Structure 1
Amino acid sequence: MTSEPSSPALTASSPLTRFRLAPNPGPMSLEGTNSYVIAAAGHPGAAVVDPGPLDEAHLHELAARTVELILITHRHRDHTAGAAHLHELTGAPVRAADPAHCTAGAPLQPGEVISVAGTEIRVLATPGHTSDSVCFHLPLDGPAGSVLTGDTILGRGTTVLDHPDGRLDDYLSSLDRLELLGPATVLPAHGPVLPALDAVVRAYRSHRLDRLSQIRAALAGLGGEPGIAEVTDVVYADVDPTVRRAAENSVAAQLEYLRSLRERL
C-alpha cells in the first residue's frame, strides 16, 4: 500500500457521478480504474463503485465524504483490492454479485433497485467478461440516464472474455440487455465516458461477430483440430505480447461458443 497523502480532484462524468482515476495503468486497465462516486446534488452521502487498487491516497480521496455504500462490478483485483480498506475507512458495506467480495452487505441481486445517495441504482446482471459481472443503471442521471458498465463495455477498445469463467453466449445476451437501455451515457471502468450506450453495444456486437468470422476462417485454413494458440496466431497475429494471454482467453471463449452452436444442430 502506498502512503502518499495527496489527491487530484474528482472529475465530473455525468449529473450524478464523478470519478477518480486510480494509479494502476497497464495493458488491461488502460489509464487505470475509474472509481466512481454517485450522489445527487446537495445530498450529504455518496455511493462508491469499484474502489480500485489498495492505494492509500486514492482510497482516502474516495473516503473524503460520507460513503453510504460501496459497489463492485466484478471480481478482478483492479476493481476490488481496495474495497475492504475503504470499508474500514468509512464503515460502508461492500456489495457485489459474488459473496466472496461482500463485506457487511448482502450479495447483489439481478433487477434489484438500490435507493442511496439521493438517487436510485438498478442492478443489471451482465455476465460474459466474468460470470459475476454486473452493470449499474442510473435512470435519473440526465435525460437518457447512465450505466456504469465495469469491464463489460470499455471506454476504448473491446473487453476480454475471461474464459472459462467468461462466456461468449452470456456476453452476447448481456449486450442485448444493455441495448434496450437506449442512448444512456456509458460510464466505463476503464477509458473515457461515451455518449450513447445503444450505439456502443451495436459496435461491440459487430466486432464480436467479425471475430467469429475470422475464427471460422482460421479453422478452415488450419484444418484438423487446431489448438487455441494456433488460432490466436492467425486471428491475433499482431497482438502485443503483454496481452497475448487475454487474446487466447477470448479465442477459447469463441471456440467454445462455436462448438456449442454445432452441438445444437
Structure 2
Amino acid sequence: MTEASGLPGHPRVGMIDGPATERAECVLAPNPSPMTLDGTNTWILAEPGSEQAVIVDPGPLHEGHLRKVVERVESAGRRVALTLLTHGHHDHAEGASRFAELTGSPVRALDPALRLGDEGLAPGRTITVGGLELRVVSTPGHTGDSLSFQLPADRSVLTGDTVLGRGTTMVAHPDGDLGDYLDSLRRLRSLTVDDGVTTVLPGHGPVLQDAQGAVDYYLVHRAKRLAQVETAVEDGCRTAQEVVARVYADVDRALWPAATQSVRAQLDYLRDHGLI
C-alpha cells in the first residue's frame, strides 16, 4: 500500500503484465487505487523447463483475476505447487483461500492465521520447488508479518509492499514499526551489495532495475520525512493530523489517512529514541 505515489528519485520501467525476468511473470490484478497504484502484482515463479510454479500474492478475492493466474500457469504447461504471501493485507492475501481451492496448492505465510497447510515461512529458510530456489527474507515494518523473497538465479527480490515500483510505502501503525522498517531496508540493501541483487519485483508498480538505487532512495526519503516530522513537533504540531497537514502538504489528500499511519509510527520512533 502506497503512502505517496508519483515521487521521483529511483529508476523504473513501464508497467508489466507478463514476463519480467527469466523466472518471474507478473499478472496485474484489476484493483487500481491511490493505495494500490495500478493494482496488485501477482507473481508466477518457475524454473525454466519445470512443470511446477510458485505463486506469490494471489491478490484480492477477484474470481476473474484468480482464474487468469491459473490459466497463465497452465498455458505454460505447469501446475501451481505452492502459494506464498508477502503479508496479510487484503489486496495481497484475500484471494488466497479461493486460489487454494482452484489449484489445490498449500498457502504459506509468516502469520499462522493466513496459512493453509502445515508449513509456515521462517526467515532465512530456502524454499525449493521444481528446481526453483527462493530465500525467505525477514522485512517487517510495513506490517509486522512482512516478508520478501530473494530469487538468486535472477538476481532479484520480491518485496511485497516493503519497496514499491513507484512512490513510497506506508508504515501501517500500530502493526507496522518504523525502526523495524529501517532495519528491513538496510537488510535489502545488503542483498544488493553482498548477494548481487539488481532487480526489485514489487507488490505494486513497475519492476525496478536498480535495486540498490531504489533502496537508497527509500532510506534517504525516510530520513528526510523523519526530520520534517521532528521539526513540525518542535514548531508546535501536537497531533498526527497536524503533522500530516504540514509535512505531507505536497501529497494527494486521498493518501493522508495512510500518511497519518506513517506519522504515528514516526512519532513513536522519535519518542522511543528520546528525540521529542
Q: Does the TM-score normalized on the shorter chain lie above 0.5?
A: yes
* Offset at residue 10 of structure 1 (A): 5.2
* 2:201 is aligned with 1:191: no
2:94: which partner in 1? 81
* Offset at residue 240 of structure 1 (A): 2.3
* 2:22 is aligned with 1:25: no
What SS class does the counterpart of residue 215 from structure 2 fall into?
helix
1:139: which partner in 2? 152
Segments of 5+ residues of structure 1 without an aligned counterpart are 1-8
Structure possessing the higher relative contact order (Cα contacts under 8 Å, 6 or more residues apart): 2
The farther-off stretch of 179-188 and 125-134 is 179-188
1-side partners of 2:208 and 2:17: how far apart? Answer: 18
Alignment of 1:6-25 (within 5 A): 11-25=18-32
2-side partners of 1:259 and 1:137: how far apart? Answer: 34
1-side partners of 2:234 and 2:17: how far apart? Answer: 51
Of the three residues 145, 148, 151, the one matched with 2:158 is: 148
CA contact (8 A) 1:109 1:123 kept: yes
* TM-score, normalisation: structure 2: 0.88
CA contact (8 A) 1:74 1:97 kept: yes
1:95: which partner in 2? 108
1-side partners of 2:66 and 2:259: how far apart? Answer: 31
2:218: which partner in 1? 204
1-side partners of 2:67 and 2:130: how far apart? Answer: 19
* Offset at residue 233 of structure 1 (A): 1.2
Identity %: 50
CA contact (8 A) 1:149 1:189 kept: yes
2:143: which partner in 1? 130
Following TM superposition, the consecutive aligned residue runs of length 4 or more in structure 1 with deviations greater than 6 angstroms are: none
* 2:266 is aligned with 1:254: yes
Give the partner amino acid of 2:184. Answer: S
Give the partner amino acid of 2:202. Answer: P
Alignment of 1:18-57 (within 5 A): 18-57=25-64
2-side partners of 1:60 and 1:234: how far apart? Answer: 44
Segments of 5+ residues of structure 2 without an aligned counterpart are 1-15
* Offset at residue 198 of structure 1 (A): 1.6
The farther-off stretch of 213-222 and 132-141 is 213-222
2:129: which partner in 1? 116
CA RMSD of aligned residues (A): 1.5
What SS class does the counterpart of residue 217 from structure 1 fall into?
helix
* Offset at residue 58 of structure 1 (A): 1.2
CA contact (8 A) 1:73 1:96 kept: yes
1:161: which partner in 2? 171
* TM-score, normalisation: structure 1: 0.91
The number of residues matched between the two structures is 251
Residues 20 and 103 (structure 1 numbering): CA distance in 2 closer, same or farther, change over 3 Å?
Answer: same
* Offset at residue 239 of structure 1 (A): 2.9
What do the CA deviations read for 1:109-157 (whole angstroms, capped 9, x no partner)? 010100013210000110000000000001111xxx1100000000000
What SS class does the counterpart of residue 269 from structure 2 fall into?
helix
Of the three residues 60, 70, 82, the one matched with 1:69 is: 82
2:253: which partner in 1? 241
The farther-off stretch of 247-256 and 104-113 is 104-113
1-side partners of 2:63 and 2:242: how far apart? Answer: 43
